[in-house]
């Protein structure tokens, strides 16, 4: 960390306004550090500066706007002194705006997990100093002790560990955190929340102008009144408080209700929000929604209404995608206590309600994939005749391809395991947004290539040379092992299917702790563990306390694919700094994989 004799640091930290504000004082130290620039031209913080920001500047929910105000103060002081801190300020601002989106999904999950662990007697034992060994732990349920399902308990405790609320010893046992603040958050809840896990559907109906039944409106009004306003405790680190967990759990379904009703654009626009503009049929319900937005820092009270903050505008613009993906797993949250003893059984993710959110989240990656496909065709002369979209959502990748030059000349196929996704695509097709002749394959498990390949052949098309785009679908293969995933991919490779797929990167718990709120991958990893799905890193990763499976690069290579780096791409990295050993995985990656038989024909095989 910079020494106090550093001229820029001394000038910033001696300013009276900065010294009076503990957050601004910490930011002054952060911004005074030198910055670097990545190969893509993005600024990044030095490791010591990022560690100070992460560990001493709380910046989620209501603290987000608070930090941005302090940031503006320090930047103003720096400019008066002729000190250039613009790059460092850009990184810090980006971290705060990112946390506005990434924190609520994790907080929503924590509210259920912590409440459930407490109801089963485990939290009390942890706080009393017991070391929990997941291989031999029983739980208190229905008045008796029952053995915990080891895999499920490991997933739950691993998630809580990744959010800084537990520690581990060298034997892998879980321990209470040493920090008193973290202990308070760990023990903040005695039971899971009493509202329905899918309360976002009630919000959506209210925001759409539907008059709710008395019990429904009463539940929403109660949510508005019970949402706590987290207290600004100044400098304390990134680990959430109990109030922040509770408030984040309130915010997530409210945002998803706004998105489902098309009202998220009001939040994104920054215009004043009024009770009737949110809930046209019931101003009291609208006031409840505003109370949640204000308590969580997404808006500032302004007379009868509220004005969105910078973090609120960010939530309205980008928040529904990651929040909706996580909330789709509410069937698991509703049964956590049973799952912890009996296993997950018949619980299943409800993608039907998540289709719009998935489309939002995947739109940009599909654009990159379609751009890469066009470049590949131009470079190699590859002739495209059949276009497939699996895990189809609303057919976003197909819609983009159909609108491009030559798009109307292709044969189109769409596949999904769930009827809800196919039904949504049929609506898009009837509206003219998807090809009229597109063939849809129902009950198509992406882990069973034969189902799709047989349907393509039955329709008179040849899968050899077909291009299949998949947006975050391969991780949904259930019961994954490394061998099973290679087998699945080999089925597509041997059929000659060119594969363009996007996958979020699996991150180790060490990375999750070190990046704090700079990704939403703690919750993303957790819900996929709970549902039996398998995230993988894009590339082989360094050893970690929780070993990661084989990377997508390794699996595709063993299956018979050649990944073409020229046409593959990666999103931003998880660290806004250059970490030790140069390890900085990307949030997600677009993989462009060509069967080796086709690569050899095109002269691409190494």
pLDDT digits (tens, 9 = 90+) for 312-324: 999 999 999 899 9
**To which residue do tokens 């600024």 refer?**
43
pLDDT higher than threshold 60 for residue 352: no
Name which of 309-318, 345-354, 448-457, 505-514 the model is least confident about. Answer: 345-354
Q: Which three-class secondary structure state does DSSP give residue 573?
A: strand
Residue 2 has what pLDDT? 41
pLDDT higher than threshold 70 for residue 347: no
Percent of the chain surpassing pLDDT 70 = 96
What does the pLDDT average to over 235-257? Answer: 96
pLDDT tens-digit map of 182-193: 999 999 999 999
pLDDT higher than threshold 50 for residue 353: no
Average pLDDT, the chain: 92
What does the pLDDT average to over 209-232? Answer: 94
pLDDT tens-digit map of 289-306: 999 999 999 999 998 999
DSSP 551: -
pLDDT tens-digit map of 458-481: 999 999 999 999 998 899 887 789
* DSSP sequence for 433-488: SS-TT-EEESS--TT-HHHHHHHHHHTT---TT-EEEEES-GGG-TT--HHHHHHH
DSSP 3: -
**Residue 359 confidence class, pLDDT cut points 50, 70, 90:** low
- Look at residues 548, 537, 546, 527 and name the one whose alpha carbon lies nearest to residue 573: 537
**Three-state SS sequence of 521-537:** HHHHHHHHHHCCCCCEC
**Residue 358 confidence class, pLDDT cut points 50, 70, 90:** low
* Euclidean distance between CA atoms 574 and 519, whole angstroms: 6
pLDDT higher than threshold 60 for residue 258: yes
**Residue 361 confidence class, pLDDT cut points 50, 70, 90:** low
**Residue 86 confidence class, pLDDT cut points 50, 70, 90:** very high
Q: Where are the domains of the chain?
A: 7-84, 105-231+239-342, 380-487+497-601
Residue 472 has what pLDDT? 86
Percent of the chain surpassing pLDDT 90 = 78
**More confident call, 544 vs 305:** 305
Query: Which helix H or strand E contains 595, and what residues bound it?
Result: strand 588-595
Whether 441 and 452 have beta carbons less than 8 Å apart is answered as: yes
User: Per the confidence metrics, is the pTM higher than 0.85?
Assistant: yes
pLDDT higher than threshold 50 for residue 1: no
**To which residue do tokens 């049964």 refer?**
335
* Euclidean distance between CA atoms 67 and 54, whole angstroms: 12
Residue 3 has what pLDDT? 43
Residue 231 has what pLDDT? 84
Residue 4 has what pLDDT? 45
65-74, 138-147, 362-371, 564-573: which is most confident: 65-74
**More confident call, 548 vs 274:** 274
pLDDT tens-digit map of 389-419: 999 888 999 999 999 999 999 999 999 998 9
Residue 480 has what pLDDT? 82
pLDDT higher than threshold 70 for residue 355: no
**To which residue do tokens 């296993």 refer?**
343
Whether 326 and 200 have beta carbons less than 8 Å apart is answered as: no
CATH class of 380-487+497-601: alpha beta
pLDDT tens-digit map of 88-125: 999 999 999 999 999 999 999 999 999 999 999 999 99
* Euclidean distance between CA atoms 247 and 295, whole angstroms: 7
pLDDT higher than threshold 60 for residue 360: no
**More confident call, 2 vs 333:** 333
* DSSP sequence for 129-184: TPPB-TTS-EEEETTEEEEPPHHHHHHHHHHHHHTTS-EE-TTS-EE--SSHHHHH
Residue 514 has what pLDDT? 92
């Amino acid at each position: 960390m910079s020494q106090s004799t550093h001229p820029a640091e001394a000038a910033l930290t001696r300013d009276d306004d900065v010294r009076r504000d503990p957050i601004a004082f910490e930011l002054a130290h952060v911004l005074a550090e030198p910055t670097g620039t990545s190969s893509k031209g993005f600024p990044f913080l030095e490791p010591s500066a990022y560690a100070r920001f992460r560990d001493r500047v709380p910046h989620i929910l209501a603290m987000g706007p608070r930090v941005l105000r302090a940031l503006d103060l320090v930047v103003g002081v720096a400019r008066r002194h002729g000190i250039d801190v613009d790059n460092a300020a850009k990184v810090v601002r980006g971290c705060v705006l990112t946390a506005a989106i990434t924190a609520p999904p994790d907080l929503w999950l924590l509210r259920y997990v912590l409440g459930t662990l407490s109801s089963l007697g485990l939290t009390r034992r942890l706080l009393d100093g017991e070391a929990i060994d997941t291989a031999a732990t029983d739980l208190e349920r229905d008045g008796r002790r029952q053995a915990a399902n080891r895999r499920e308990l490991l997933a739950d405790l691993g998630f809580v560990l990744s959010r800084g609320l537990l520690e581990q010893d060298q034997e892998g046992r879980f321990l209470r955190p040493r920090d008193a603040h973290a202990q308070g958050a760990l023990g903040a809840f005695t039971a899971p929340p009493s509202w329905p896990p899918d309360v976002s559907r009630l919000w959506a109906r209210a925001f759409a102008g539907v008059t709710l039944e008395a019990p429904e409106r009463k539940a929403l009004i109660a949510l508005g009144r019970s949402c706590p306003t987290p207290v600004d405790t100044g400098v304390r680190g990134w680990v959430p408080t109990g109030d922040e967990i509770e408030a984040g759990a309130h915010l997530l379904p409210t945002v998803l209700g706004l998105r489902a009703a098309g009202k998220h654009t009001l939040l994104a626009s920054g215009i004043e929000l009024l009770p009737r503009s949110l809930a046209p049929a019931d101003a009291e319900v609208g006031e409840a929604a505003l109370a949640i937005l204000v308590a969580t820092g997404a808006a500032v009270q302004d007379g009868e209404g509220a004005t969105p903050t910078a973090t609120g505008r960010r939530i309205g613009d980008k928040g529904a995608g990651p929040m909706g993906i996580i909330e789709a797993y509410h069937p698991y949250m509703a049964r956590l206590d049973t799952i912890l003893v009996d296993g997950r059984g018949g619980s299943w993710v409800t993608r039907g309600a998540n289709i719009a959110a998935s489309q939002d989240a995947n739109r940009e990656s599909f654009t990159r994939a379609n751009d890469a496909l066009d470049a590949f065709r131009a470079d190699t002369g590859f002739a495209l005749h059949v276009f497939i979209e699996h895990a189809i959502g609303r057919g976003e990748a197909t819609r983009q391809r159909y609108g491009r030059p030559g798009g109307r000349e292709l044969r189109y196929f769409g596949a999904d395991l769930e009827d809800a996704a196919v039904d949504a695509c049929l609506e898009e097709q009837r509206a003219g947004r998807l090809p009229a002749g597109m063939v849809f394959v129902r009950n198509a498990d992406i882990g069973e290539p034969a189902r799709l390949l047989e349907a393509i052949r039955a329709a008179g098309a040849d899968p050899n040379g077909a291009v299949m785009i998949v947006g975050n679908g391969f991780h949904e293969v259930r019961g994954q092992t490394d061998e099973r995933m290679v087998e699945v991919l080999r089925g597509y490779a041997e059929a000659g299917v060119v594969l363009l797929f996007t996958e979020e990167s699996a991150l180790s718990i060490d990375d999750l702790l070190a990046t704090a709120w700079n990704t939403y991958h703690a919750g993303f990893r957790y819900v996929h563990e709970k549902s039996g799905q398998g995230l993988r890193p894009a590339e082989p990763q360094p050893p970690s306390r929780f070993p990661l499976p084989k990377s997508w690069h390794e699996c595709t290579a063993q299956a018979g694919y050649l990944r073409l780096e020229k046409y593959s791409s990666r999103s931003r990295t998880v660290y806004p700094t250059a970490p030790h050993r140069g390890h900085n995985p990307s949030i997600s990656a677009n993989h462009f994989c060509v069967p080796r038989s086709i690569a050899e024909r095109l002269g691409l095989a190494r």
